[in-house]
Amino acid sequence: MSQDKKSFFDFTSPFELKRPIEIFQKSLKDQFYIQKNDKFKLKTLVLQRNYLIKFSSKKPSQKYFNITNALLEQVKHPQMGHGIQITKNGENFTFYGMVDKWYTQLKKWCIQLNFQKEYCMIKLVGKGSFAKVYKIQRLSDKKEFAVKLFDKTTFKSQDRAALLKEIELMRIMNHKNVVTILETYENEQYIFIIQELFNGGELQQELKKTRTFSEYGAFIVIQQVIEALKYIHSHGIIHRDIKPENIILREEGMIEQVVLADFGLADYFRKDCKYMFTRCGTPGFVAPELLQDKIYDYKVDIYSCGILFYYLLLGKGPFDSNNYDQTVMANFNGWVDLTKIQFSIECLELLRGMLDPNPIKRYSIEQIQQSSFFAKHSTVFQQYASQSSLGSIPSQGDSRTISPQQSPNLEPKKSPSDLKSRFANSEVSPLQSPVRINTTSFSPLSAPFGKTQNLQRIPIQI
Sign of the CA dihedral 291, 294, 295, 299? negative
> Cβ distance 4 to 54 under 8 Å?
no
Distance of CA 86 to the CA centre of its chain: 27
Angle between helices 215-234 and 372-384 (to 10 degrees): 100
Length of the chain: 462
CA angle, 99 as apex, 98 and 101 as ends, to 5°?
105
What contacts 366, CB < 8 A, 6 or more positions away?
A: none
Closest CA to 444 of 427, 421, 416: 421
What contacts 57, CB < 8 A, 6 or more positions away?
A: none
- Decide: helix, strand or coil at residue 33: strand
Distance between CA atoms of 128 and 110, rounded to whole angstroms?
A: 25
- Decide: helix, strand or coil at residue 250: coil
CB-CB neighbours of 367 under 10 Å: 14
CA angle, 130 as apex, 441 and 133 as ends, to 5°?
120
> Cβ distance 204 to 248 under 8 Å?
no
The answer on whether 148 is annotated among ligand-binding residues is: yes
DSSP 342: -
Closest CA to 264 of 388, 356, 129: 129
Give yes or no: 241 in active site: yes
> Cβ distance 97 to 77 under 8 Å?
no
Out of 241, 262, 301, 356, the active site residue is: 241
Three-state SS for 145-211 is EEEEEEEHHHCCHHHHHHHHHHHHHHHHCCECCECCCCEEEECCCEEEEEECCCCCCEHHHHHHHHC
CA angle, 245 as apex, 320 and 193 as ends, to 5°?
150
**E strands, 208-257, in order:** 237-238, 247-249
- Decide: helix, strand or coil at residue 308: helix
- Decide: helix, strand or coil at residue 314: helix
Q: Which residues are annotated as a binding site?
A: 148
Catalytic residues, which ones?
Answer: 241
